[in-house]
Structure 1
């Protein structure tokens, strides 16, 4: 069960100047398939995984060589922080189950938070999103320093957190200063890995003549990409479904945008898939000659082989309790 949490700070090509640091915690309450940890946590920078922690190993594991070599002195402290957060999250999910009158079953609580830094303007923004059983539960508006909840069960918690001005200011400082310093630190350490640029390979794919047309971009790095459809030169949003960003095994990324219209419709007008990336812009005209069928070897390649101890410590160590 996955929680879909999307942070939209800026649109279009402006995103190429952004660096995003994210930490995601997942807490599972109840019996699950063997070997699935009760708690896991992952930190990423610009989509590249930095570390991993879970409640089975109880150890913070660096996922990049340049992080492991240069950051040994912070690893022990950071591991302790993750363990403390695990204990807080365990209390939170228990309290939430009680509020929802849930006494059994498997339930999932997730928190995703982090910061976005625009290195061109030096502007920054932050996000703090909490989810329960795959649905949004609480989100932070950092500009207004207020938490919000789309569900009634979250209102009492939001009111409590919004009254804690000290913690709200700490979150603001975390994103406007402390975490930005860490982004710069990691960018310096992993310069070659993080600043590499790989252009997307873009194809129009269709399972059969009556199926939706999929604009598939793959093999690109960094992860920021914008996929849009044009109809007769103007942006087209109807009957369009944007897919999730997915990682490839070679540490690149892939993403799709599906246009669900019948061939008779797109043959009457001019449709173009536009893929904007840091490496440039690629356009694919929707024509029969451009579409690749899933019966071809080329399509199999796309859908097969290539598919699918600073103040920051205070923020993580003082996760809000719902108790």
Structure 2
């Protein structure tokens, strides 16, 4: 995530977000050179929480929150196709930037980035838009939304500035996007999020053990929301010694999983009543699994393989993403929930 940090540092001075301000932001990063990082990644955030992600290795746009799935199934097909096209678009812009900076023969790592979005103060109604491009960790060109003109801090960006300043129609489109369309999508996403927060999904609870002498793991998965307590009981009271609590991890379907490990000798739990108790926020019911030989699953069970797959999928899903359109000249159409359009604005060659 090094390059995202660079971009955030670059644009951090442009705007601040107060306690009542909501935001919709998109980060795009193209990379060239020998580096262990995807050539192209896109990340979308609502209130600084990632809701969609794409990279050129997986070639698939994926949801990072449960509520974004409400936009409709066609959304993901559309977003994936757009991101694949944007990958080539960013490769072209990196080459243009390298030519401008006399780096055509350079074999080192170069980074081209794009960040844009909008802020909305739900108390005052004040809105802001921001649109900025960076190259190799420095600001390349940015939009002054008040004057509808482009600011080029480096002479290598003057060609781009002159080209974009002269396109009055496109700059009017940007004004429309940042003051109306982006804000409308932000409000829509906030409504989806609010509705989703009222949703609850009960967990599936399993007791896992590698060998008869290994610690016993209580694994809960498939629950929503993410707030969960997993506790071990011994003959009634909760036991806190010899208990190791893992992190709550996301599953690929928007739900969550968590494990709590209990170190206990076989003769100890066989001669006492041990129970795993799972409590999920918003669900007024405890999910209890008795520690008995019949309830324990081992690595030889096919169900364990499924659980491991879910865990790996959850780990791989951590990250974050979103999409734009390749041709900036394309006129904005009315956004819809079927995936035929999105909250992204269009892109342009530098």
TM-score calculated relative to the size of structure 1: 0.59
- Cα deviation, residue 111, structure 1: 0.5
Query: Residues 91-102 of structure 1 correspond to what in structure 2 (within 5 A)?
Result: 91-102=92-103
Q: How many residues align?
A: 207
Alignment of 1:9 with 2:15, yes or no, is yes
Larger radius of gyration: 2
Counterpart of 2:129 in structure 1 is: 126
User: What is the CA–CA distance in structure 1 between the aligned matches of 2:99 and 2:73, rounded to whole Å?
Assistant: 40
Counterpart of 2:28 in structure 1 is: 25
Higher mean C-alpha displacement, 175-184 vs 68-77: 68-77
Q: Is the 8 A contact 2:32 2:110 kept in 1?
A: yes
User: Can you give the 5+ residue segments of structure 1 that lack an aligned partner in the other structure?
Assistant: 196-248, 252-308
User: What is the CA–CA distance in structure 2 between the aligned matches of 1:113 and 1:194, rounded to whole Å?
Assistant: 27
Q: Is the 8 A contact 2:185 2:343 kept in 1?
A: no
- Cα deviation, residue 81, structure 1: 2.2
Alignment of 1:156 with 2:159, yes or no, is yes
Structure 1 residues 9 and 311: CA distance shift in structure 2, 3 A = farther
User: What is the CA–CA distance in structure 1 between the aligned matches of 2:116 and 2:44, rounded to whole Å?
Assistant: 10
Query: Residues 205-284 of structure 1 correspond to what in structure 2 (within 5 A)?
Result: none
SS of equivalent to 1:186 = helix
Counterpart of 2:59 in structure 1 is: 58
User: What is the CA–CA distance in structure 2 between the aligned matches of 1:162 and 1:194, rounded to whole Å?
Assistant: 43
User: Can you give the 5+ residue segments of structure 2 that lack an aligned partner in the other structure?
Assistant: 199-246, 250-331, 336-340
User: What is the CA–CA distance in structure 1 between the aligned matches of 2:83 and 2:148, rounded to whole Å?
Assistant: 25
Structure 1 residues 316 and 189: CA distance shift in structure 2, 3 A = closer
Counterpart of 1:175 in structure 2 is: 178
Counterpart of 1:274 in structure 2 is: none
The higher relative CO (CA closer than 8 Å, separation ≥ 6) is in: 2
- What do the CA deviations read for 1:83-125 (whole angstroms, capped 9, x no partner)? 2222222111111101111122110011010111122232321
Structure 1 residues 193 and 9: CA distance shift in structure 2, 3 A = farther
User: What is the CA–CA distance in structure 2 between the aligned matches of 1:48 and 1:318, rounded to whole Å?
Assistant: 22
SS of equivalent to 1:16 = coil
- Cα deviation, residue 171, structure 1: 1.1
Counterpart of 2:109 in structure 1 is: 106
SS of equivalent to 2:153 = coil
User: What is the CA–CA distance in structure 2 between the aligned matches of 1:321 and 1:194, rounded to whole Å?
Assistant: 39
Q: Is the 8 A contact 1:178 1:310 kept in 2?
A: no
Counterpart of 1:198 in structure 2 is: none
Q: Is the 8 A contact 2:66 2:196 kept in 1?
A: no
User: What is the CA–CA distance in structure 2 between the aligned matches of 1:19 and 1:194, rounded to whole Å?
Assistant: 17
Q: Is the 8 A contact 1:161 1:320 kept in 2?
A: no
Structure 1 residues 140 and 48: CA distance shift in structure 2, 3 A = same
User: What is the CA–CA distance in structure 2 between the aligned matches of 1:130 and 1:311, rounded to whole Å?
Assistant: 26
- What do the CA deviations read for 1:216-268 (whole angstroms, capped 9, x no partner)? xxxxxxxxxxxxxxxxxxxxxxxxxxxxxxxxx879xxxxxxxxxxxxxxxxx
RMSD: 2.6
Counterpart of 2:303 in structure 1 is: none
- What do the CA deviations read for 1:147-194 (whole angstroms, capped 9, x no partner)? 101111111111111111111111111111111111111111111678
Q: Is the 8 A contact 1:40 1:54 kept in 2?
A: yes
Q: Is the 8 A contact 1:115 1:124 kept in 2?
A: yes
Q: Is the 8 A contact 2:119 2:127 kept in 1?
A: yes
Counterpart of 2:84 in structure 1 is: 83
TM-score calculated relative to the size of structure 2: 0.54
- Cα deviation, residue 80, structure 1: 2.1
SS of equivalent to 2:96 = helix
Structure 1 residues 311 and 141: CA distance shift in structure 2, 3 A = farther
- Cα deviation, residue 47, structure 1: 0.7
